[in-house]
Amino acid sequence: MESASVPLPHGAGGHAAADAHHHGPPEAHQSSRIDKQTLGIFLFIVSEVMLFGSFFASYFFLRVVVNPVAWPAKPFELPVTIALMNTCILISSSFTIHYALEAIRKGNKQGMKLGLVVTWLLGLTFLFVQINEYVHLGFSARTESFGTIFYSLTGLHGAHVFIGLTLLTAATIRAFRGHYGKEPEKHMGVEIPGIYWHFVDIMWIVVFLTVYVL
Amino acid sequence: MNFNEAAVFKWVLIFAAAGASVYLLALVAGELVGAIWAFLLALVGCAYGIRWTRDWWRRLKRPGD
């Protein structure tokens, strides 16, 4: 993506004014239009969307093409209300991580720490509610194809929440150690986990609608 | 053409609003209607995503990078 560019002598073309500020070729393996961390998380999220896409493909194949007699398999029922409450918890956590980032952008380190801690607690609550739901569902991943795809899809998302919590743990510890600052390049350690957390939230909304509602 | 936390948060709000509309429609008019509405929203989202990605990639690969 990079290209070596050699500064032209003054007056050699129409680029003399721009070349006055140009000193040698650009840094290798790095775009001047997007920082590598943001590009990295974007590409990672794209790959994860494809992974979820394959699980959703399995879900819709089982439900529409195989088309079993009952979905969910009788006599089981899904706890839609609890899942809705969990959805609200996760959406709230997106607001709190956004608050944390808005706070550090304004130089408010206390607000950032508060936002990170609350986000972490909300994420942990989500996971515990999900695990508690698994315990009380009454069916396992071996209960017909319905059980398998239910646990696969929600379990995959739960694993992503766990990864997000790990990132947030690191970000929170660093925040309390005073590693972050107001400038964008000084709080990338919060920005990137924030982007990932929003992706996890958006994915849960899709999972919730697909599995519990439709 | 941004990809930062604030831009992604905007999409959390959009997905939450879209999800709420699908949920309410499914409650009121039935699961099939909710599924059709969700599918239409997904098509709109895919079209927007394709356009955004193409534009973003074109800007990223402009000469001089």
Kindly report whether the global pTM for this prediction surpasses the value 0.90. Answer: no
Confidence (pLDDT) at A1: 42
Helix ranges, chain A (H): 16-19, 36-60, 80-105, 109-136, 144-176, 188-208
Hey, are the CB atoms on B8 and A201 less than 8 Å from each other?
A: no
Shared domain for A13 and A76, answered yes or no, is: no
Count how many Cα atoms sit within 13 Å of the Cα of residue A76 in the half-sphere of its side chain.
19
Shared domain for A130 and A180, answered yes or no, is: yes
As for how many domains chain A has, the answer is 2
Nearest CA in chain B to A18: B64
Shared domain for A98 and A71, answered yes or no, is: yes
Shared domain for A205 and A105, answered yes or no, is: yes
Residue-wise over B11-48: b if at least 16 C-beta within 10 A, else e? Answer: bbeebbebbeebbebbeeeeeeebbebbeebeeeeeee
Hey, are the CB atoms on B3 and A42 less than 8 Å from each other?
A: yes
Shared domain for A19 and A45, answered yes or no, is: no
Which letter does DSSP use for residue A13 in this model? S
pLDDT at A27 over 90: no
Q: State percent of chain A over pLDDT 90.
A: 66
Shared domain for A85 and A28, answered yes or no, is: no
Shared domain for A10 and A60, answered yes or no, is: no
Shared domain for A27 and A40, answered yes or no, is: no
Task: Give φ, ψ of A66 to 5 degrees.
Answer: -70, -40
Tens digits of residue pLDDT in A172-200: 999 999 999 999 889 999 999 999 999 99
Q: Chain B contact for A98, CB < 8 A? A: yes
Contact A21, A5 (CB under 8 A): no
CA B48 to chain A, closest CA, distance in angstroms equals 15
* A31 contact residues in B (CB cutoff 8 A): 60, 65
Q: What is the ipTM of this complex?
A: 0.80
Cα angle vertex B8, ends A59, A177, to 5°? 110
Q: Chain B contact for A20, CB < 8 A? A: no
The CATH number linked to A66 is 1.20.120.80
Q: How far apart are CA B38 and CA B26, in angstroms?
A: 10
Domain that holds residue A125: 36-213
Tens digits of residue pLDDT in A121-171: 999 999 999 999 999 988 888 888 899 999 999 999 999 999 999 999 999
Shared domain for A112 and A60, answered yes or no, is: yes
